[in-house]
Amino acid sequence: MAPADMRYPTDLDLLNQCREGSEALLDALWAPGMAPVKPRTYRRVARRKYLAVAKQRKKSGKQVRKAVRQQLQYVKRNLGHLDRLLDALPGAPIPLSRAAYRQLLVIREVSRQQQTMYDQRSHRIPGRIVSVSQPHVRPMVRGKARASTEFGAKLSVSLVDGLAYLDRIRWEAFNERQDLPAQVEQFRERFGHSPAVVIADGIYGTRANRQYLKARRIRFSGKPLGRPPADVQERKAARQRRQQEAKQRNRIEGKFGEGKRKYQLDCVRTKRQDTSEHWIAMTFFVMNIAAVLRQYFLSWFFWCLSRCVAVQIVVVHGFAGNQQQRRRLFQ
């Protein structure tokens, strides 16, 4: 999971952003010659009503519902004014920039979703938008102690020899166990052969995934289905092997922790969907470069250490061999 840089969304705050955005669009679209009087938005009254509830430390459900209804009415009023202004320009191009027109479409969709949830007294709807500036972000229920719901992209990552490969980025919630066949195929494309074993979390151990791996003679590290073997030694050896492989599997969790602690993977600050995906991809690219550099640095360090030990042996204990033996030692 790569959380986006956004404040925790609420229905009231989201509608207030839509109202302010629609007012800005009205100011940009209206011209003195388009209508005799500029459409009224009651922005001061709407702002005052919003702050009267938003500033309260504890809000009752009745107060929040009333404030949401009020903001919905103001947004609908502004959208109606925008429709009338746009209808007054038949055959002419829309006098809005691409970003402004995109914002108008987002505000319309947010208004529709909020009205549907208000009528149904619900807080769930398919494809729910939680940010006007980042409409591609979706809420994902994670069930963690720190935050039960996160907002960002969900990732599928595979780890091979200390290098992380970003296999999938998706902004909609999905079950990662569906990605195992695709990740195995991507491994074959990268390295030219199938993996000998797949070390993954228990959620990947579905019957379909096990049958897929078995058909390709790939061993799954999870606990096998059915009864355990009757032989005590065989059962003990299998359990120890699973424990060792589970320790290896923890490295992928450490890779996510490294990205979130050092490379800002826990706070993607870009706003657009494509730039956010580039941010995430570059994070794993930099982590892989750092892993390769650490590997080369350690090899160079141990090489220098071995040379220093060899020199110390020659200096302290002396070396009475011939020139050919001394040359062989320092090679």
Phi-psi region of 63 (alpha: psi -120 to 50; beta: other; left: phi over 0): alpha
Strand-pairing partners, residue 155, are 169
Task: Give a yes or no: residue 167 inside a domain.
Answer: no
110 found inside a domain: yes
Cα 320 to Cα 331: distance, rounded to the nearest angstrom: 18
Instruction: Identify whether 287 is part of a domain.
Output: no
Higher pLDDT, 255 or 37: 255
Q: 164: which strand partners? A: 159
15: number of CA atoms within 13 Å, CB side?
30
242 part of a folded domain: no
Select from 120, 148, 170 the last residue of a domain: 120
| Position 71 in a domain | yes
**d(C-alpha 77, C-alpha 329), whole Å:** 86
The whole-angstrom separation of Cα 300 and Cα 213 is 39
Could you give the residue ranges of the DSSP H alpha helices within the chain? Answer: 11-29, 43-54, 61-87, 98-120, 180-191, 207-215, 232-262, 273-317, 323-329
What's the total number of domains in the chain? 2
Q: Measure the CA–CA gap between 154 and 142, rounded to whole angstroms.
A: 11
Boundary-marking domain end, from 67, 99, 120: 120
- CB < 8 Å & 24+ apart, contacts of 277-280: 277/153, 277/169, 280/2, 280/153, 280/155, 280/166, 280/169
Q: How confident is the model at residue 105 (pLDDT cuts 50, 70, 90)?
A: very high
Residue-wise pLDDT for 186-239, tens only, equals 999 999 999 999 998 888 989 999 999 999 999 998 888 888 888 888 888 888
- Among 120, 155, 188, identify where a domain stops: 120
Q: What confidence tens digit (pLDDT) does each residue in 153-198 have?
A: 999 999 998 899 999 999 988 888 888 999 999 999 999 999 999 9
pLDDT, mean of residues 132-153: 85
Q: Judge whether residue 331 has pLDDT over 90.
A: no
Q: How far apart are CA 128 and CA 135, in angstroms?
A: 9
230 C-beta neighbours (distance < 10 Å), count? 7
- ∠ CA 178-197-296, nearest 5°, is 105
Q: Determine the distance from the C-alpha atom of residue 96 to the mean position of all C-alpha atoms in its chain, rounded to a whole number.
A: 32
| Closest to 221 measured CA to CA, from 237, 200, 238 | 200
- Domain of residue 112: give its range: 2-120
Q: Which amino acid is at 129?
A: I
Q: What is the pLDDT of residue 303?
A: 64
Note the pLDDT tens digit of each residue in 296-306: 877 766 667 66
* Mean pLDDT score, 31-53: 85
- Residue 248 in this model has a pLDDT that exceeds 50: yes
Q: Is the residue at 8 inside a domain? A: yes
| 186 belongs to a structural domain | no
Between 33 and 330, name the one with better pLDDT: 33
User: 């390295």: which residue's tokens?
Assistant: 191
User: Which pLDDT does position 285 carry in this prediction?
Assistant: 93
**In the chain, what percentage of residues exceed pLDDT 90?**
51
What is the amino acid identity at position 329? L
Asked if the model's pLDDT at residue 311 lies above 70, the reply is no
Which pair of structure tokens corresponds to residue 327? 């040359």
pTM of the predicted structure, to 2 decimals: 0.80
Q: Is residue 174 part of a domain?
A: no
| Mean of all residue pLDDT scores within the chain | 86
